[in-house]
């Protein structure tokens, strides 16, 4: 006995017997009582724990079970064998996508690149515009006028992706022998920005225009709504700060530079970090509704790649899931990284 | 100095008004254009001569839409999914968020992580699709043949909304809860009589987030609902758009209105309900997101 549990025992010289060491005894006691405590607490508070159950089940079934399904991308997809008997093939799908050299691999790299470019452009153009809008809103002193502007600019946010993409499709549609082209094509041609042939072919059929259409429609849709948070930060600036700056002779630009910007800087930093965290979360629904075979070159992102490969008639679920998993793992690292930076920078955790 | 201040202020004011007016009009223009095109005559729409105001006003496209049973069917399906989907999501979210807001809850950090992790990492659309297919089989096996219920129950839960609710509940002072318990309130009564009335604004916001995402939901409804009679409005619009913009199927079109007008009429019909309730909900959005947006 002593040999087997030597660490837990010590020799009591006075009584001449081995006893469980006092420290271990306390630890045992705590552990025992702790678990009794757990059981008792849960039983006493069973209503509270019951309230959690529906939510936990929803997340388990429809958020965590898909992660289990994801394990399928490590297996050779052979429908003859049951899943349990399929051989693990290591990282064959990942390898094929990364260095395979076939069509799937080429398209995967193209999709990866497009995902990065689309989200990077979104960051460059989509991020500053709401801030500028909020500065402008602050300039409108009349409440009625500001409400009108706000109501109008928030409005597109509440349109569905389907309605928005349908409108875009109609506005830039191609012309034919019997029908005219979309009204935006006409406008751009009248301004001399595009030639008649390009306008008549339809802008959504031209890979050179896809990214612009995606970004501009995105700004149209969300800029007004995204300005809410910045506007709230700006109106929180105390009027005395402006007065002090005015007495010191600051003109409008100096007030912007030394009063407004420093006050909303923390909001800007937090929103920027959030934005970087969700950099790879491209709205695939929108791409799916706007792209076509002509524009795959610039439009195809990883999610739409996965949609085409994994959910069509000849579904290659393993390949598609592997592609998306790489995208999502990079996305997760970005989120965690961004959150860590946010914590360090401002003591504000986003989650 | 005074003059310089006034001039720079004036310049900035003029700039603000001008640019905001342009942007606001740009936001409004597509909707006006859609209405005008829906009620313009066939040749005007087909030659693309409608720019702002309707030409040769007709209401044939709207009449065709309103006479289409499939359209009303799609509309009622969307109402069904929005109503039950929001109720189901709010029920699970409020109960869960209430429990999570309690400091005495054991493994609170663990449960929180369980939620937040789904915001960090998503399995992707293909595994989700396989999972929904499996769910569909289970639903069919227990006798739920209507795929709308699959959309209602299995889809649309968002961890972010639960966290917004949890933060609002955490803001309720514990003294109020203690007072209610001293007065003999049960757990459920504390929730319904203390917590819910005290966080009305956030609850309204979250309910609207859920409702709008339900009303606008497209992708999964299209993937999972195979029966045409169960399609929600968004799927219906998209299928019509695909059908009507395909030149092959439109060769025999001989109506007094253009096929595009039908699409525009559909778009207008689908956004009218949102436009009607929008002025009433708009103030909640601005307020509620500020209340629960960032957790200090």
Decide if A207 is inside a domain: yes
Residue B205, exposed/middle/buried by CB under 10 A (0-12, 13-18, 19+)? buried
Q: What is the mean pLDDT of each run of 10 residues along chain A (351 residues)?
A: 39 56 53 69 83 95 90 61 52 82 90 92 91 91 87 88 93 82 89 88 90 93 89 87 85 84 84 80 87 91 90 77 88 85 66 49
Confidence of residue B252 (pLDDT cuts 50, 70, 90): confident
- Closest approach of chain B CAs to the CA of A101, in angstroms? 23
Identity of the highest mean pLDDT range in A100-109, A309-318, B91-100, B285-294 = B91-100
In a shared domain, residues A133 and A7: no
Residue contact A317–B126, C-beta within 8 A = yes
φ, ψ for residue B72, nearest 5 deg: -65, -35
Portion 190-209 of A in contact with B at CB < 8 A:
none
Number of domains chain A is built from: 2
Portion 117-156 of A in contact with B at CB < 8 A:
133, 135-137, 139-140, 148-156
Contacts of residue B154 in chain A, CB cutoff 8 Å?
A: 61-62
- The reply to whether B67 touches chain A by the CB within 8 Å rule is no
- Closest approach of chain B CAs to the CA of A99, in angstroms? 22
Tell me what the mean pLDDT of segment B94-101 comes to: 94
Are B221 and B234 a contacting pair, CB within 8 Å? yes
Portion 311-330 of A in contact with B at CB < 8 A:
311, 317, 320-321, 324-325, 327-329
Tell me what the mean pLDDT of segment B200-222 comes to: 90
- The reply to whether B55 touches chain A by the CB within 8 Å rule is no
Confidence of residue B12 (pLDDT cuts 50, 70, 90): confident
CB pairs under 8 A between A and B: 269
- The reply to whether B263 touches chain A by the CB within 8 Å rule is yes
Residue contact A155–B241, C-beta within 8 A = no
In a shared domain, residues A29 and A121: no
Residue contact B127–A285, C-beta within 8 A = no
Decide if A115 is inside a domain: yes
Residue contact B124–A253, C-beta within 8 A = no
The vertex-B189 CA angle with B188 and B193, nearest 5°, equals 125
Confidence of residue B119 (pLDDT cuts 50, 70, 90): confident
- Closest approach of chain A CAs to the CA of B114, in angstroms? 8
Bridge partners (DSSP) listed for residue A9: A20
Residue contact A153–B106, C-beta within 8 A = no
Contacts of residue B55 in chain A, CB cutoff 8 Å?
A: none
| Structure-model confidence comparison of residues B76 and B103, the more confident one | B76
Distance CA B104, CA B95 (A): 16
Confidence of residue B191 (pLDDT cuts 50, 70, 90): very high
Decide if B61 is inside a domain: no
Decide if A208 is inside a domain: yes
Helical (H) or strand (E) element with A17: strand A17-20
Decide if B286 is inside a domain: yes
| Domain harbouring B150, CATH code | 1.10.3720.10
Residue contact A180–B11, C-beta within 8 A = no
By C-alpha distance, which of B77, B141, B195, B118 is closest to A58? B118
- The reply to whether A163 touches chain B by the CB within 8 Å rule is yes
Distance CA A337, CA A258 (A): 30
Residue contact B48–A69, C-beta within 8 A = no
- The pLDDT tens digits for A216-263 are 999 999 999 889 889 888 888 888 888 888 888 888 888 888 888 888
- Which pLDDT belongs to residue A3? 35
Distance CA B80, CA B211 (A): 11
In a shared domain, residues A22 and A118: no
pTM for the whole thing? 0.85
Decide if B183 is inside a domain: yes
- Closest approach of chain A CAs to the CA of B83, in angstroms? 17
- The reply to whether B279 touches chain A by the CB within 8 Å rule is yes
In a shared domain, residues A13 and A116: no
- Closest approach of chain B CAs to the CA of A252, in angstroms? 5
DSSP B51: S
Q: Check whether B296 has a pLDDT greater than 60.
A: no
Please, what's the b/e burial string for A248-274 (b: 16 or more CB within 10 A of its CB; e: otherwise)? eebbbebbeeebbeeebeebbebbbbe
- Which pLDDT belongs to residue A133? 93
Are B55 and B46 a contacting pair, CB within 8 Å? no
- Which pLDDT belongs to residue B83? 96
Which one of A65, A166, A306 has the shortest CB-CB distance to B126?
A: A306
Alpha helix locations (H) across A45-89? 46-59, 65-70
Portion 235-264 of A in contact with B at CB < 8 A:
246, 249-253
Q: In which domain, by residue range, is B207 found?
A: 66-239+275-292
Q: In which domain, by residue range, is A294 found?
A: 95-346
- The pLDDT tens digits for B81-90 are 999 999 999 9
Decide if B206 is inside a domain: yes
Decide if B269 is inside a domain: no
- Which pLDDT belongs to residue A349? 53
Q: What percent of chain B has pLDDT over 90?
A: 46
Residue contact B163–A229, C-beta within 8 A = no
Decide if B57 is inside a domain: no
Distance CA B230, CA B78 (A): 9
Decide if B148 is inside a domain: yes
Residue contact A63–B92, C-beta within 8 A = no
Task: For residue B79, give the 3-state DSSP assignment.
Answer: helix
| Domain harbouring A157, CATH code | 1.10.3720.10
In a shared domain, residues A12 and A118: no
Which one of B119, B263, B286 has the shortest CB-CB distance to A166?
A: B263
- The pLDDT tens digits for B43-81 are 888 888 888 889 889 999 999 999 999 999 999 999 999
Residue contact B104–A45, C-beta within 8 A = yes
Decide if A307 is inside a domain: yes
In a shared domain, residues A275 and A190: yes
Residue contact B11–A252, C-beta within 8 A = yes
Task: For residue A193, give the 3-state DSSP assignment.
Answer: coil
Number of domains chain B is built from: 1
Are A245 and A254 a contacting pair, CB within 8 Å? yes
- Which pLDDT belongs to residue A77? 52
Decide if A144 is inside a domain: yes
Contacts of residue B289 in chain A, CB cutoff 8 Å?
A: 228-229
In a shared domain, residues A173 and A321: yes
In a shared domain, residues A126 and A23: no
Decide if B104 is inside a domain: yes
In a shared domain, residues A35 and A151: no
Portion 122-161 of B in contact with A at CB < 8 A:
122-132, 134-135, 154-155, 157, 159
């Amino acid at each position: 006995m002593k040999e087997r549990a030597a660490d837990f025992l010590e020799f009591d010289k006075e009584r001449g017997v081995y006893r469980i060491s006092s420290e271990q005894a306390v630890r045992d006691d705590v552990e025992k009582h702790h678990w009794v405590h757990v059981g008792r607490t849960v039983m006493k508070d069973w209503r509270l724990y019951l309230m959690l159950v529906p939510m936990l089940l929803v997340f388990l079934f429809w958020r965590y079970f898909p992660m289990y399904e994801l394990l399928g991308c490590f297996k050779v997809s052979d429908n003859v064998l049951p899943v349990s008997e399929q051989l693990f093939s290591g990282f064959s799908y990942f390898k094929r996508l990364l260095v395979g050299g076939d069509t799937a691999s080429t398209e995967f790299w193209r999709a990866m690149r497009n995902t990065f470019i689309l989200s990077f452009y979104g960051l460059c153009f989509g991020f500053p515009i709401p801030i500028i809008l909020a500065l402008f809103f602050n300039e409108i002193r009349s409440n009625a006028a500001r409400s009108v502007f706000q109501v109008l600019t928030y409005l597109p946010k509440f349109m569905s992706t389907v309605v928005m993409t349908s409108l875009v499709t109609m506005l830039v549609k191609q012309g034919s022998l019997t029908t005219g082209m979309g009204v935006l094509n006409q406008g751009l041609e009248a301004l001399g920005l595009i030639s008649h042939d390009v306008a008549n072919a339809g802008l959504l059929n031209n890979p050179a225009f896809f990214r612009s259409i995606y970004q501009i429609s995105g700004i149209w849709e969300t800029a007004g709504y995204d300005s809410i948070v910045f506007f709230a930060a700006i109106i929180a600036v105390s009027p005395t700060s402006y007065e002090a700056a005015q007495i010191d002779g600051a003109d409008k630009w100096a007030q912007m530079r030394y009063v407004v910007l420093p006050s909303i800087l923390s909001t800007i930093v937090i929103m920027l970090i959030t934005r970087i965290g969700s950099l790879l979360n491209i709205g695939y629904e929108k791409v799916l509704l706007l792209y076509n075979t002509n524009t795959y070159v610039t439009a195809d992102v990883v999610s739409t790649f996965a949609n085409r490969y994994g959910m069509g008639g000849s579904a290659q679920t393993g390949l598609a899931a592997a592609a998306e998993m790489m995208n999502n793992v990079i996305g997760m690292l970005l989120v965690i990284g961004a959150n860590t930076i946010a914590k360090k920078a401002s003591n504000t955790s986003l989650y | 100095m005074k003059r310089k201040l006034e001039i720079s202020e004036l310049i900035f004011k003029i700039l603000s008004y001008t640019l905001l007016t342009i942007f606001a009009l740009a936001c409004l223009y597509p909707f006006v254009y859609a209405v005008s095109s829906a009620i313009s005559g066939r040749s005007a729409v087909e030659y693309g001569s409608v720019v702002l105001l309707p030409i040769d006003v007709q209401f044939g496209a709207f009449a065709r839409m309103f006479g289409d049973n499939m359209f009303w069917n799609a509309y009622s399906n969307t109402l069904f999914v929005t109503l039950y989907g929001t109720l189901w999501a709010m029920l699970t979210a409020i109960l869960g968020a209430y429990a999570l807001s309690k400091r005495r809850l054991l493994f609170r950090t663990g449960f929180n992580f369980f939620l937040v992790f789904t915001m960090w990492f998503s399995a992707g659309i293909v595994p989700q699709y396989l999972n929904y297919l499996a769910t569909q089989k289970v639903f069919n096996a227990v006798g739920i043949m209507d795929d709308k219920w699959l959309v209602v129950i299995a889809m649309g839960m968002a961890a972010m909304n639960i966290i917004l609710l949890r933060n609002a509940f955490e803001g309720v002072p514990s003294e109020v809860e203690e007072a209610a318990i001293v007065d003999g309130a049960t757990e459920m009564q504390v929730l319904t009589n203390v917590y819910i009335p005290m966080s009305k604004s956030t609850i309204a916001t979250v309910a609207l987030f859920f409702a709008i995402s339900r009303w606008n939901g497209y992708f999964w409804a299209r993937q999972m609902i195979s029966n045409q009679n169960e399609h929600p409005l968004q799927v219906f619009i998209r299928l019509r758009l695909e059908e009507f913009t395909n030149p092959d199927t439109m060769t025999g079109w001989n109506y007094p209105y253009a096929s595009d007008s039908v699409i525009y009429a559909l778009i207008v019909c689908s956004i009218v309900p949102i436009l009607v309730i929008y002025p009433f909900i708009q103030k909640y959005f601005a307020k509620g997101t500020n209340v629960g947006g960032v957790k200090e």
